[in-house]
Amino acid sequence: MCGIVGYVGPSADSRALDVVMEGLARLEYRGYDSAGVALVTEDGVSSEKRAGKLGNLRAALEEQPLPDASTAIGHTRWATHGAPTDENAHPHHGGEDGKLALIHNGIIENFHALKNELLADGVVFRSETDTEVAAQLLARAYDDTADLTLAMLQVVARLEGAFTLLAVHADAPGVVVGARRNSPLVVGIGEGENFLGSDVAAFIGHTREAVELGQDEVVTITPDSATIVRFDGTPTEGKAYHVDWDAAAAEKGGYPTFMQKEIHEQPHAVQDTLLGRTDDEGRLVLDELRISEDDLRQVTKIVIVACGTAAYAGMVAKYALEHWTRIPCEVELAHEFRYRDPVIDGHTLVVSISQSGETMDTLMAVKHAGDLGAHTLSICNTHGSTIPRESDAVLYTHAGPEIAVASTKAFLAQITACYLLGLYLAQLRGGTYADEAQSVMKELAEVPEKIQRVIDSMGRVREIARFMADTRSVLFLGRHVGYPVALEGALKLKELAYIHAEGFAAGELKHGPIALIEPGQPVFIVVPSPSSEHGLHGKVVSNIQEIRARGARTLVIAEEGDEAVVPFADEIIRVPATSALLAPLVTTVPLQVFAAELATAKGLDVDQPRNLAKSVTVE
């Protein structure tokens, strides 16, 4: 969603525009539909903004260069109020003289009332955005206070909703003021220069020292200082931390797309998520959990809330959590959970799963769960993001930055973290599976190498994908943990290749979806291990026979050595044997590779599919 960058350098410096443009390029992965910058120059505040990709803004800046400056803000916008046009792009200027410029991420919910008040006072608006209301209010507050920080404090007191705001004023050179509520903002600490960003990627090329800004806080940066106050005006200090990945990690590393790079990083994502989770005796230790062992022992129900791919990770988790812990587990889309009346109490553990930690639907579900008295635990990939901060406890995945809009390595890391949680709870509560935790951990330790083997054997999958570039519809079937894998395979194809794709539980086939099968219809089938309980393998093999008999083209993902599928498969994609519950860590990979390759063959932008944002920070 919107990307925000702020920079203040030494006064003799004129790099501000370059720093901000570089930051915006690094934040492109968040998704956007227009971009703009504002610079504080000797002559006032100059800005430029354009609808479309950053290239449009760059071209405009080349045609009409802005004066040198050492202070700048930059923005990539994902439209909410008002179409993605030049006028609605940020920054927005405030005041009759336009001396103030402001950028915004989020939604100001009470903007209508505020706008009417300003209109009645004769203010003329140039855009349809909620943001311009904040710009006009801030310009007025600055006229009263002549202090940008004080003015910001006055304005945020009047705003409702979610927002990160950054502002500069012509009469306050060398200063950028930011504010955040329910929306991300981090501070980058340099030497004689300081930065603000939606996330650390915005300034990672310049510094790896960062400060986490708390909820409802205002930060003022100058070249030599970063000062933080709460919305009530009391001074505070953010939490300083060192970013343990560098600029290279946020770039493509030699791969043609971020998504391909991230698919190849999956063995590491799983391995790193497993790192440091056991003590000398092999017992699981989850230091980050801030919920007491007693409270966790008393949990009677687990509810997983998430969206999109993260929700599919939750569906995989349900099978594992219930099996290992015997605690009933529900999985619910966060936006559905939030607006019903869920039956939860102080013995419910609500687990949110989110790569970005900023998904507004998931955040609202977490807050709702907290209000209802549940314990909230976040599984998240992004340090310092909002959802873990709003949760009682956090279990971080260590997948590294995920830049491509389509989630890949974060999915496998989320599933891995869910396994850790399940095994930890099983160990804590005793029972049948407490003793098995160590053997499952041993098997998990071998999984990264198995994922690598799958990645290394994807030649035929790529060929199939290229061959199928003109396909109009693909179906995906799975059973047990293979069902969410089928859903994830379909989601990947929809979002990347814009092809009609649907995932089904294989057992559901005969209840309706089998009517879709006609000669030539491609169907991926995620086959359970022959060692699965309850004869599931045989049942899925029967499903393959049923659809093949009706003309389906069967693309079968099956374990090495599974010969039963051979007579009914048009194509067999082999994956290494794993125990049934861990299989999604290997069976998902061919479906990711297939979707990426097919989209590439269609000439589509794999990293930034149309209409999608990496981080969905509005409900």
**Cis ω for the linkage preceding 91 (within 30 of 0):** yes
Least CB distance to ligand M6R at residue 355 (A)? 3
Least CB distance to ligand M6R at residue 397 (A)? 10
Is residue 2 annotated as part of the catalytic site, yes or no? Answer: yes
- Closest among 213, 134, 203 to 167, alpha carbons compared: 134
Residue of this chain nearest to ligand M6R (CB atom) = 308
d(Cα 127, Cα 106) in Å, to the nearest integer?
16
Regarding 348 and contact with ligand M6R (CB under 6 A), the answer is no
Burial of 29 (0-12, 13-18, 19+ CB in 10 A): buried
Least CB distance to ligand M6R at residue 210 (A)? 20
Choice between 41 and 362, CB closer to ligand M6R: 362
Regarding 416 and contact with ligand M6R (CB under 6 A), the answer is no
Regarding 307 and contact with ligand M6R (CB under 6 A), the answer is yes
Measured between alpha carbons, how far apart are the two ends of the chain, in Å?
Answer: 12
Cα angle 370, 232, 184 (rounded to 5 degrees) comes to: 55
For ligand M6R, the binding residue among 354, 543, 592, 608 (CB under 6 A) is 354
| Residues 377-406 interacting with ligand M6R (rule: CB under 6 A) | 405-406
Residue 247 token pair: 């600029």
Contact window for ligand M6R (CB under 6 A) among 203-211, 316-324, 354-362, 435-443: 354-362
Residue with tokens 């069967």: 554
# residues near ligand M6R by CB under 6 A: 17
Least CB distance to ligand M6R at residue 385 (A)? 9
For ligand M6R, the binding residue among 164, 207, 271, 362 (CB under 6 A) is 362
- Whether 93 contacts 170, CB under 8 Å: no
Regarding 309 and contact with ligand M6R (CB under 6 A), the answer is yes
Least CB distance to ligand M6R at residue 127 (A)? 27
Contact window for ligand M6R (CB under 6 A) among 222-230, 286-294, 303-311, 515-523: 303-311
d(Cα 188, Cα 241) in Å, to the nearest integer?
10
DSSP code for 220 = E
Regarding 359 and contact with ligand M6R (CB under 6 A), the answer is yes
Choice between 127 and 359, CB closer to ligand M6R: 359
d(Cα 446, Cα 260) in Å, to the nearest integer?
23
Least CB distance to ligand M6R at residue 402 (A)? 8
DSSP code for 434 = T
Choice between 307 and 468, CB closer to ligand M6R: 307
- Whether 92 contacts 135, CB under 8 Å: yes
Choice between 212 and 402, CB closer to ligand M6R: 402
From the candidates 49, 318, 450, 614, which is the catalytic residue? 614
Least CB distance to ligand M6R at residue 147 (A)? 37
d(Cα 207, Cα 188) in Å, to the nearest integer?
6
Residue 135 token pair: 């710009």
| Residues 489-518 interacting with ligand M6R (rule: CB under 6 A) | 491, 495
Regarding 356 and contact with ligand M6R (CB under 6 A), the answer is yes
Give the dihedral of Cα atoms 151, 152, 157, 160; nearest 10 deg: 140
Query: Do the strands 393-396 and 375-380 form a parallel or antiparallel pair, or are they unpaired?
Result: parallel
- Please list, in sequence order, all residues whose beta carbon lies within 8 angstroms of the beta carbon of residue 276, skipping any fewer than 6 positions away: none
From the candidates 2, 307, 329, 380, which is the catalytic residue? 2
For ligand M6R, the binding residue among 137, 310, 365, 506 (CB under 6 A) is 310
Residue 31 token pair: 């998704």
List contacts with ligand M6R (CB under 6 A). 307-310, 354-356, 359, 362, 405-407, 491, 495, 612, 615-616
Q: Which residues are catalytic?
A: 2, 614
